[in-house]
A and B are shown apart, each in its own frame.
Chain A
Amino acid sequence: MIRMNKFIKLAIATCIIFSHSSNLYARDKLDIKGFLTIAGYHSSNDNLGFQPHLSSSDVGYKGDDEYLTLSKVGLQLNYQLSTQFELVGQIVAQKEVVVDNSDRIKIATLNYSPTSSLLFRIGRFAPRTYLLSDSRLIGYSNNEVIPNHDFYAQLPLSYVNGADLTYNFGLSDGVGTASIFTGRTEVNINATDGNTLNSKFKNLLGFNLEYQTNNWLYRFGYTQSQLANSWEQVDTAIQFLTLVSQDYPSPLVSWTEGKEFVEAYRVKDKWFRYKTLAVQYDNSIWRVRAEIGDLAADSSNIPKNKNAYVSFSRTFDQFTPFLTLSAIKTSSPRTFSKPDEGLVQFLSAQSNQNLAFGLQQVFQFAETSAYNQKSISLGVRYDFALRQDIKLQFERKHVEAIGSNLWVVKDFSKIKDEYVSLIMFSYDRVF
């Protein structure tokens, strides 16, 4: 079903109004520019709901034509206060899960450049967690309709409130860039059962090292953060897990690994660590880009994932066909012993709760919570006019039965290994 609403109409109107301008407004001090993407996709599966990333507002099943999730229009204002100070603001209108409307402000920084090689920013900005971190919303800057799903969907961090420092330096024949950022962020994540998990991150600290020489780019990134809050579902489970994990006198059999299990199950104050390594070769005709990532977390509720992609593109005048291969794989979680059945029955009777059911849910989640899928993607970008393109992309994904956490599952009883096809298109422009 095609759903045209005010957003699409606004986007089309914006596109027509600015169709002949290369920049909305550009003078010495003030620069206003914008970007627009009108995009859609169609998925082939009726049990696994596709979401481009874990904070998507909408989910696409077979028969749905989704337009609003990928479409967006953004405006950015740069105001030069002096030779060293600049104000930057960016607002993006798109259908997304937000904590409040201020989330639509993606950038609000005071930039300070004491020298040409140093940039210090304070305010709100995109975290540079991986290669495409702070440009992945801009459809026109990428060949693909959306950033690689297997790689970029699991960490939907859209902004950091904090500070960052970037230093550029010449090194041999190339240019090096070192950057460090810190701050806090908050994001709503869609769980595979459709529930929303509000996650506040504190003590966010990341650094990147990048080196570009001739046609090559190498990049390493490391980010760590602590979850500042807990999730309601986890708190509920912790209550009865704490009861079961106590030491009980004989003849009851205590759960020897219980306390360890409860500690590992908590999410509040647990650390996340994410490392990426990227290499790109770009000679203006051929571009090959590869990136690998490794997500580790101290909580058993967060899958530990390794993911990677490699993409090839070749530019023939206005056409750029591309091929991308990618995968994400969850490491096997540490296994724990289960509590004694007699103990569970005794405690259930004492507390008047169905503890066996609760424990079954907790262990089932621990055993099935994973991201295991691989994909092949083929597409073409057509730059039919300056600052405008259209793209068409076909993607085929193999999602393992235990491994569908990037999707919203309609019926868990029907879950099995699946092949899912996606057709995506977009029209992008900057103005």
Chain B
Amino acid sequence: MNIRILIGLICFVFSSVASAEILVIVNKNNPISSMSKQEIIYIYTGRLMAFSNGEQAQPIDLYDGSQEKATFYKITTGKRLSQINSYWAKLSFTGRLKPPLALETQQAAVEYVVNNANAIAYIDEKYLTDDVKVVFRLDS
């Protein structure tokens, strides 16, 4: 009986992890239809603040306590949040670059993308609406 409960718990945990797919979204009017992981990394690390068509990209982040943020950076860059924060501390205090604007909720991120043609954000797929376009799915 105990083993069944344990197996059930394991299945539940893994099924919730699998369902928590993270999507990278852009404004519906953005002509970009898909992006590579490398392009997303470059935009979110400030190396190249543009989409592949040359249009400026405005990346949107989530607040530090967000699990989606930790997962997004771990999967894309391989870095922990402390490493990402350290990386951005290096760049932002040079006065040359600003880190992505961090919003408190994923709904706010979706809303920001809807209202800003150059915005790009990442969200849990449960927050996806028809008003935005998915350009990348993170394999967790």
- Which residues of A line the B interface, CB within 8 A? 22-23, 26, 28, 31, 33, 35, 74, 76, 78, 88, 90, 107, 109, 111, 115-117, 119, 121, 125-126, 134-135, 137-138, 140-142, 166, 168, 170, 173, 175, 212, 214, 283-285, 315, 317-318, 383, 386-387, 389, 430
Select which of B48, B90, B92 is within 8 A of A170 by beta carbon: B48
The answer to whether A35 and B47 have CB atoms under 8 Å apart is no
B residues near A134, Cβ cutoff 8 Å:
93-96
- Which residues of B line the A interface, CB within 8 A? 38, 42, 47-50, 54-57, 63-64, 77-83, 85-87, 89-96, 98, 101-102
B residues near A173, Cβ cutoff 8 Å:
38
The answer to whether B48 and A135 have CB atoms under 8 Å apart is no
Most buried by B among A116, A170, A214: A116
A319 CA to B101 CA in the complex, in Å?
A: 28
A residues near B86, Cβ cutoff 8 Å:
140-141, 383, 389
A residues near B82, Cβ cutoff 8 Å:
318, 383, 386-387, 389
The answer to whether B50 and A119 have CB atoms under 8 Å apart is no
Select which of A74, A175, A389 is within 8 A of B93 by beta carbon: A74
Instruction: Kindly report which residue of chain B lies nearest to residue A143, judged by CB atoms.
Output: B86
Known: A116-B57, A168-B47, A284-B79. A126 touches B94 (CB 8 A): yes
Select which of B38, B50, B64, B95 is within 8 A of A116 by beta carbon: B50
Select which of A23, A35, A170, A386 is within 8 A of B102 by beta carbon: A23
Report the tally of A-B residue pairs with Cβ distances under 8 A: 104
Known: A90-B93, A138-B89, A387-B85. A175 touches B80 (CB 8 A): no
Select which of A33, A115, A386 is within 8 A of B64 by beta carbon: A386
B residues near A283, Cβ cutoff 8 Å:
78
The answer to whether B81 and A135 have CB atoms under 8 Å apart is no
Instruction: Kindly report which residue of chain B lies nearest to residue A124, judged by CB atoms.
Output: B95
The answer to whether B48 and A138 have CB atoms under 8 Å apart is no
The answer to whether A317 and B80 have CB atoms under 8 Å apart is yes
Known: A116-B49, A170-B48, A284-B78. A22 touches B102 (CB 8 A): yes
A90 CA to B96 CA in the complex, in Å?
A: 12
The answer to whether B101 and A26 have CB atoms under 8 Å apart is yes
Select which of B54, B55, B56, B93 is within 8 A of A141 by beta carbon: B93
B residues near A26, Cβ cutoff 8 Å:
101-102
Select which of A31, A107, A168, A386 is within 8 A of B85 by beta carbon: A386
Known: A140-B86, A284-B83. A168 touches B93 (CB 8 A): no
The answer to whether A107 and B81 have CB atoms under 8 Å apart is no
A315 CA to B78 CA in the complex, in Å?
A: 11
A37 CA to B16 CA in the complex, in Å?
A: 41
The answer to whether B95 and A175 have CB atoms under 8 Å apart is no
Contacts A/B (CB < 8 Å), 6 sampled: A22-B64, A117-B50, A134-B93, A138-B93, A141-B93, A318-B82
Known: A22-B64, A212-B47, A284-B78. A175 touches B42 (CB 8 A): yes
A residues near B48, Cβ cutoff 8 Å:
116-117, 168, 170, 175
The answer to whether B78 and A135 have CB atoms under 8 Å apart is no
Most buried by A among B78, B85, B91: B85
A142 CA to B87 CA in the complex, in Å?
A: 9
A34 CA to B137 CA in the complex, in Å?
A: 34
The answer to whether B85 and A135 have CB atoms under 8 Å apart is no
A138 CA to B87 CA in the complex, in Å?
A: 11
The answer to whether A285 and B78 have CB atoms under 8 Å apart is yes
Select which of A22, A74, A141, A212 is within 8 A of B90 by beta carbon: A141
The answer to whether B93 and A35 have CB atoms under 8 Å apart is yes
